[in-house]
């Protein structure tokens, strides 16, 4: 066993008692830091939220809120964590004058009753409080440029306070008794961090580098390879090893299904899997980049992904979840696959023998199955440029946010505007939730390609789209409902593209 250490609230703590499947939440509570609570054990309630220092460019770090109930404690070897207990300036129970500004505002505005969820809210709110882009003088929202993204009424969903506080920073935190108005009031009352604030100043330094970690206990191993070559070597000796990045999927299996992989390989900090390169003919996105990092790095360059991100789980989940993990699980209802199919994306599969590029449309072979061979790692996702001129992402679920989709449909369409009217010159449509795998709506694409973009054509295409896939009845929706939503998605896309000319 390596000497595993985690810095918590400024104090270095040994992790001798942590095994390969010991969750960060359980380890923290065993250390006496009981502010973080377990509510749902699947990353949906936020009661377990903590802050971790993550890289934010050369010489900088960023306090990032994550769920502690999902990842293993060993995944934070060498890292820095702040819990709700560490936000105040006093080493013990905080006196009133020692409260952190976030804690102070929640207390003053009645943002806590039973207090069970409060530490999680405090940590998520503190991450937004320290977000470098937050603009205390205005909305803090950037103005998008480039290809048009239809359905801009969703911009209202991104609620931002007068102090630049993005309320969706709290989207993964649930309160069962206080109500959200006083919590929102507290968030919108926050000022900017003082220059002497130690956590604010900490962001001006690099985040800790990832440490190679090797721990064996209880018949299981947790390994963080130092290089891609070491990862390939481990996989060669045990191709059944479970790869883990954000643990937003494996963590649920560990918690609710008592999954106990004999070997877990942590790949989230491997630099070869964390590239983000925008070239003249394609964008390459590392499979281990968190969704929040991708959103921030792309800065609106791919409007279809900008439409996807706010509907992908919660901010707490997006701060850890990766595109590579979402695709590699092969789930037919994963949110990213329909959008990436519409973008004509490909995946790069890497192994000790080299790399190969596979079109995403050919990647899935069956329910939670893919062409990925034993020993192969999904290294990156490639999106060809230029992008289609109009795009949209529609997610049909029981809740607007933080929910699993019943149906998802993504459109990427290029129009030619001619004297005799607008025609569809290129179209790609990705669907989720209507087959055993994410699929392209190929028959619908054929029904549209080269035809005038008219109401008659859209209605015909909608009828074709309603018959795409093999939808089933389950707890989330009936097959009939799913087919109806496919049809309505096409009609909605037609209605929204009548608003104005193509951009970009």
Taking a C-beta distance cutoff of 8 angstroms, is the pair 147, 391 a contact? Answer: yes
What would the two tokens of residue 483 be? 């087919």
> How far is residue 201's CA from residue 191's CA, in Å, rounded to a whole number?
16
> How far is residue 344's CA from residue 412's CA, in Å, rounded to a whole number?
9
Asked whether residue 50 falls in the same domain as residue 197, the answer is yes
What is the domain-level CATH number for residue 478? 3.30.390.50
Q: Please tell me the pTM assigned to this model.
A: 0.93
What is the domain-level CATH number for residue 63? 3.10.20.30
- Residue 231 has a pLDDT of 97
Asked whether residue 84 falls in the same domain as residue 122, the answer is yes
In a domain, 294, yes or no: no
In a domain, 449, yes or no: yes
Of the three residues 202, 225, 258, the one that is the final residue of a domain is: 202
For tokens 């929910």, name the residue.
403
Pairing of strands 148-149, 439-440: unpaired
Asked whether residue 402 falls in the same domain as residue 475, the answer is yes
Number of domains in the chain: 3
- Rounded to the nearest 5°, which phi and psi values hold at 431? -130, 145
C-alpha torsion angle, residues 284, 288, 290, 291 (rounded to 10): 50
Of the three residues 253, 272, 291, the one that is the final residue of a domain is: 272
Contacts of 238 (CB under 8 A, 6+ apart): 262, 263
What is the domain-level CATH number for residue 261? 3.30.43.10
Of the three residues 182, 202, 222, the one that is the final residue of a domain is: 202
- Residue 499 has a pLDDT of 55
- Residue 138 has a pLDDT of 45
Could you give the 3-state DSSP secondary structure of residue 312? coil
Taking a C-beta distance cutoff of 8 angstroms, is the pair 103, 94 a contact? Answer: yes
What would the two tokens of residue 467 be? 């018959």
In a domain, 299, yes or no: no
DSSP state string for 163-218: T--BGGGGTT---SSS-HHHHHHHHHT--PPPTT-HHHHHTTSPPPPP--EEEEET
In a domain, 31, yes or no: yes
Asked whether residue 495 falls in the same domain as residue 394, the answer is yes
6, 203, 428, 440 from 56: Cα distances, Å: 20, 8, 34, 36
Asked whether residue 181 falls in the same domain as residue 226, the answer is no
- Residue 243 has a pLDDT of 97
In a domain, 476, yes or no: yes
Asked whether residue 152 falls in the same domain as residue 268, the answer is no
In a domain, 373, yes or no: no
Asked whether residue 60 falls in the same domain as residue 95, the answer is yes
Longest dimension (CA), the chain: 75
Asked whether residue 75 falls in the same domain as residue 156, the answer is yes
Pairing of strands 80-82, 5-8: parallel
pLDDT in single tens digits along all 504 residues of the chain = 468 999 999 999 999 889 999 999 999 999 999 999 999 999 999 999 999 999 999 999 999 999 999 999 999 999 999 999 999 864 445 455 689 999 999 999 999 999 999 999 999 999 999 999 985 444 433 333 345 555 544 444 568 999 999 999 999 999 989 889 999 999 999 999 999 999 999 999 999 999 999 999 999 999 999 999 999 999 999 988 999 999 999 999 999 999 999 999 999 999 999 999 999 999 999 999 999 999 999 999 999 999 999 999 999 999 999 999 999 999 999 999 999 999 999 999 999 999 999 999 999 999 999 999 999 999 999 999 999 999 999 999 988 888 899 999 999 999 998 988 899 999 999 999 999 999 999 999 999 999 999 999 999 999 999 999 999 999 889 999 999 999 999 999 999 998 554 433
In a domain, 394, yes or no: yes
Asked whether residue 155 falls in the same domain as residue 46, the answer is yes
Residue-level length of the chain: 504
Asked whether residue 98 falls in the same domain as residue 30, the answer is yes
Asked whether residue 142 falls in the same domain as residue 246, the answer is no
Asked whether residue 54 falls in the same domain as residue 173, the answer is yes
- Residue 498 has a pLDDT of 87
In a domain, 358, yes or no: no
- Residue 144 has a pLDDT of 34
- Residue 400 has a pLDDT of 80
Determine the structural domain holding residue 111 and report its residue range.
Answer: 5-202
């Amino acid at each position: 066993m390596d000497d595993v250490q985690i810095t918590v609230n400024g104090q270095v703590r040994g992790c001798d008692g942590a095994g390969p499947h010991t969750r960060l939440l359980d380890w923290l509570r065993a250390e006496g830091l009981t502010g973080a609570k377990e509510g749902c054990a699947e990353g949906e309630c936020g009661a377990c939220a903590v802050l971790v220092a993550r890289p934010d460019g050369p010489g900088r770090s960023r306090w990032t809120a994550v769920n502690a109930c999902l990842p293993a404690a060993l995944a934070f070897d060498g890292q820095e964590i702040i819990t709700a207990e560490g936000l105040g300036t006093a080493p013990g129970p905080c006196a009133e004058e020692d409260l952190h500004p976030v804690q102070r505002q929640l207390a003053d505005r009645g943002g806590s009753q039973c207090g069970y969820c409060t530490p999680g809210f405090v940590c998520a709110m503190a991450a937004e409080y320290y977000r470098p882009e937050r603009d205390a003088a205005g909305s803090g929202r950037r103005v998008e440029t480039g290809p048009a993204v239809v359905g801009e009424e969703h911009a209202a969903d991104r609620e931002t306070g007068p102090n630049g506080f993005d309320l969706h920073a709290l989207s993964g935190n649930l309160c069962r008794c206080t109500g959200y108005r006083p919590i929102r009031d507290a968030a919108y009352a926050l000022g900017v961090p003082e220059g002497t604030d130690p956590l604010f100043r900490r962001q001006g330094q690099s985040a800790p580098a990832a440490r190679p970690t090797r721990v064996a206990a209880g018949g299981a191993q947790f390994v963080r390879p130092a290089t891609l070559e070491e990862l390939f070597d481990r996989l060669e000796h045990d191709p059944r090893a479970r790869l883990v990045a954000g643990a937003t999927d494996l963590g649920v299996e560990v918690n609710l299904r008592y999954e106990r992989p004999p070997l877990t390989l942590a790949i989230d900090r491997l630099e070869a899997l964390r590239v983000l390169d925008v070239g003249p003919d394609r964008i390459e996105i590392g499979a281990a980049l968190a969704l929040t990092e991708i959103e921030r790095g792309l800065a609106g360059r791919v409007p279809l992904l900008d439409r996807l991100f706010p509907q992908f789980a919660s901010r707490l989940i997006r701060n850890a979840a990766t595109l590579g993990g979402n695709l590699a699980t092969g789930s037919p209802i994963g949110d990213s696959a329909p959008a990436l199919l519409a973008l004509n994306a490909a995946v790069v599969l890497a192994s000790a023998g080299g790399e190969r590029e596979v079109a995403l449309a050919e990647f899935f072979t069956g329910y939670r199955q893919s062409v990925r061979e034993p020993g192969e790692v999904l290294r990156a996702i490639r999106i060809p440029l230029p992008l289609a001129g109009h795009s949209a992402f529609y997610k049909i679920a029981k809740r607007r946010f933080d929910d699993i989709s019943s149906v998802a449909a993504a459109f990427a369409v290029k129009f030619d505007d001619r004297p005799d009217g607008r025609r569809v010159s290129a179209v790609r449509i990705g669907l989720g939730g209507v087959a055993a795998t994410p699929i392209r709506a190929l028959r619908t694409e054929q029904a549209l390609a080269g035809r005038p973009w008219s109401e008659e054509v859209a209605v015909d295409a909608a009828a074709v789209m309603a018959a795409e896939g093999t939808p089933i009845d389950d707890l989330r929706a009936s097959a009939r409902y799913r087919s109806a939503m496919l049809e309505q998605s096409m009609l909605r896309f037609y209605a929204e593209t009548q608003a104005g000319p193509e951009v970009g």
